[in-house]
Amino acid sequence: MSTTANYAATPKNGSAQIATANTARDGTGTLGTVYTAGASGSRIDSIVVQATGTTTAGMIRFFISIDAGTTKRLVYELPVLANTASATVPVWQYTLTSQNASFMQNGLVLQASALLYASTNNAETFNVTPVNAGDF
């Protein structure tokens, strides 16, 4: 363990769009790749999940793989609330942080080349965007 602080040296932006219904909790089925860690690992401080339209009650699931995508492990389930978007009602949105998501404690630190995936339980479209993310 390092005795000095290590900060992300290379900022990294990106987003995954997920839309295919996937009820599996074992990492199978259709998953969107949210983030691929760099050669020295990465850190994500928060993740914004935003619907693109009306939602029904469901779940967004997050998986991590540390072996190039061969084995995926469920690390978090985010409940989606039913919401009818309109001109006066915004689409459903949620920001995962260290304060409200157990797998994000002190930022999500991914080992070298690890992959973060997401899936949606219902066939509804969501954008999943890491915020304040970068590679070491």
Q: What pLDDT sits at residue 8?
A: 67
Tell me which amino acid residue 124 is. E
**Tens of pLDDT, residues 120-130:** 999 999 999 99
Domains and CATH numbers, the chain: 12-135 (2.60.120)
**Tens of pLDDT, residues 52-85:** 999 999 999 999 999 987 899 999 999 999 999 9
Does pLDDT of 42 surpass 80? yes
Distance CA 43, CA 1 (A): 16
Confidence bin at 44 (pLDDT 50/70/90): very high
pTM: 0.92
Distance CA 73, CA 25 (A): 8
Buried b (16+ CB within 10 A) or exposed e, 13-46: eeebebbeebeeeebeeebbebbbbbeebbbbbb
